Amino acid sequence: MKSTLKNKVVRAFLIVFISINYCNSQIISYTITDTDPSKFRNLNIRPYFSFNIPQTQLDIGLPINLNVDGQYWFPKFLDVRAGICLGTFKGFTGGATYHLSDKVKIKNSKFVLGSSTRGRTTTTRYFKAPTTSKVIFGPCADFALGKLGTAGFFTEVDFGLNWQAYTRAYATLQNGSYIKSGRNGWVDLKIQAVIRSVNWGYSVLNETPYRVLGVGGQLNLSGSARPWKGVTFYGGIAMGAAKMLGVIQSGITKESTIQPILSFGIGASINLL
């Protein structure tokens, strides 16, 4: 008797559970109306401000720059970068990524319908749907060359691996609402080795600047929101560390020291072609 009652309770619970989920799935009726990554513009011009911790122990003032970068994507092959910097660092930058892989992939994207809060619990309603994303992977190299404030000539070469992805995906609900995917935008991730040459400090013997070599690595993350529009937001951050070789200690002793790498930029992306 107890076993029969228990089975009926379990069966009733399953029926209610399945019915609720069935009803919820019927409530969310949508159509993916735009998922075309080819609408990403091939030429981006990015004016932005960048800030970084000092790259030398010499007094170079506030490390802030105005940068204007350009980036162009050759289909299925290569993208190249070039820029000018004005501010604490005055010079040129450039680089390229060779596309070992340049494909359009289908991935599930999250579309958020809304959220509600009850006490300390926040419930988010969403659904996932397949959308297309353009994904690029390959080796990359970048350089910077110019004058670093009163420290004089500065040069840096970075090389490693680059992963890029951009997605354009929108959905129209049954009630006419138009919502975007959480993946929308362009993301650029680089893992790179860093080699730099910079005047580091003053020699005690002759009171002249001396040059050191820095070797290290960094993680560089940047991206823009809605890159298929004419003008969009752009931002980036680089983090890492470099071992500075040949630093003079106690007047004449040459040793090494670890210098953190931290910089971030914020500005706009003007998307052309």
Bridge partners (DSSP) of residue 158 are 142, 194
> How close are the terminal C-alpha atoms of the chain, in Å?
76
3-class state of residue 250 by DSSP? coil
pLDDT by residue (tens digit) across 196-241? 999 998 877 667 888 999 999 999 999 998 888 889 999 999 999 9
The answer to whether residue 18 sits within a structural domain is: no
Which 8-state DSSP code applies to residue 60?
A: -
Residue 40 counted as domain residue = yes
- d(CA 120, CA 118) in angstroms, rounded, equals 6
Question: What mean pLDDT do residues 34-41 have?
Answer: 77
Q: Residue 27: pLDDT band by 50, 70, 90 thresholds?
A: low
Q: Can you tell me the distance from the alpha carbon of 197 to that of 143, in angstroms, rounded to the nearest whole number?
A: 12
pLDDT band per the 50, 70, 90 thresholds, residue 7: very low
pLDDT for res 228: 83
Q: Is residue 135 part of a domain?
A: yes
Residue 148 lies in a domain: yes
Torsion, CA 100, CA 35, CA 129, CA 161, rounded to 10: 20
For residues 102-130, average pLDDT: 79
Tell me the mean pLDDT in the region 239-261. Answer: 86
| 134 assigned to some structural domain | yes
Domain encompassing residue 108:
30-272
Spatial contact of 245 and 256, defined as CB atoms under 8 Å apart: yes
Residue 22 lies in a domain: no
Closest by CA position to 220, among listed 150, 148, 103, 140: 140
Domain count, the chain: 1
Helical segments of the chain, H only: 2-27
pLDDT of residue 197: 96
Q: Mean pLDDT, the chain, as a whole number?
A: 84
Confidence at 28, pLDDT banded by 50, 70, 90 = low
Greater confidence (51 vs 107) lies with: 51
Q: What percent of the chain has pLDDT over 90?
A: 50
Domain presence at residue 9: no
Mean pLDDT value across residues 163-186: 82
In a domain, residue 39? The reply is yes
